[in-house]
Amino acid sequence: MTTSSRSIFRIALPLVLLLLLGACATPHPNPRDPWEGFNRPVFRFNDGLDRAVIKPAAKGYDWLVPANLQVVIGNFFANLSDLYISLNNLLQGKPKEAGGDLARVLINSSLGIGGLVDAATGMGFEKHDEDFGQTLAVWGVESGPFVVLPVIGPRTVRDSFSLAADWEGDPLSWVKPDLLHYSLSGLHQVDKRAGLLPGDKVIEAGAIDKYSYIRDAYLQHRRYEIYDGAPPPEDDEK
C-alpha cells in the first residue's frame, strides 16, 4: 500500500495548493504570507497534533533510548539520506560536494558498519543538507508564498511541489515489506522530533506569536540552506 498512500499525497497536495489560490485575504496581508487566513488554522491543528501525539512519543523515545544509541540511530538515517543529497548537489552544479557525499556513503556504509558510525566526518567529508526544493531554488524557481501543510508543516509553494521528489529519493520509501517501511519511517520521524525537543524551549521563550515566529524562522532558515549557510544580506528596509 506504500505506493497508493503516497500517490494520494501526490494528488491531494496540488489540490490543496489550488484551493489556496482562491483563499480569502487577511486585513493586513504580509507580502510573504498572503494565505495567513488559511495557514493559521492548519498551524493550530498541526500544533495540537504535535502536542497530543508526536511530542509525547519523542519525549518517551528520548527517555527510553540512551544518548549513544540515539547517535547511532541518527547516523543510520543520515547515511541513508546522503545518496540523495549527493544527487541534489550534482544537479545544483556542485560536483565537489556531490563527490564528498558519495564518499560519505561509501565510507560510512563500510567502515561505519552500515551507516551506524559516522566515520566520514572525521576524515574531512562534511555532512551536507540538500533537497529538491533547494535544487529548484538554485535553478531559479521562485519560492512562492508561505504555506502550512496539514501534518507536514511549514513550506513554501515551491518546496511543497518538490516534496514528491524528496519522497521518491528517500531510500526509506524503497523498503519492503510495508511493515518494515512504516516502522523505519516512524522511527525516523520520532528520532527527528526528539532532536528538536531542546529547540522547543527556545521557541517557547522567544515567540510572542508562535505562528509568525516559526514562519519567519522557517523562511530565514530556508534561505540559509539554499545559499549553503552564507545568504547575501537582505535589504534592511523592505
**To the nearest whole angstrom, how small is the minimum distance from the Cβ of residue 59 to other proteins?**
13
| Residue among 87 and 226 whose Cβ is closer to other proteins | 226
Beta strands in the chain (DSSP E): 146-149, 153-156
Amino acid identity at 124:
G
CB distance 32 to 219 below 8 Å: yes
Q: How many angstroms separate the Cα of 154 from the Cα of each of 2, 50, 102, 213?
A: 24, 13, 30, 12
Residues that bind other proteins in the complex, under the rule CB under 8 A: 28, 30, 32-33, 67-68, 70-71, 74, 127, 129, 195, 198-199, 201-202, 204-206, 208-209, 212-213, 215-217, 220-221, 223-225, 229, 231, 234, 236-238
| Residue among 176 and 201 whose Cβ is closer to other proteins | 201
| Residue among 16 and 208 whose Cβ is closer to other proteins | 208
Q: How far apart (Å, rounded) are the C-alpha atoms in residues 167 and 133?
A: 12
Cell output for 119? 566515520
| Residue among 166 and 225 whose Cβ is closer to other proteins | 225
**To the nearest whole angstrom, how small is the minimum distance from the Cβ of residue 14 to other proteins?**
27
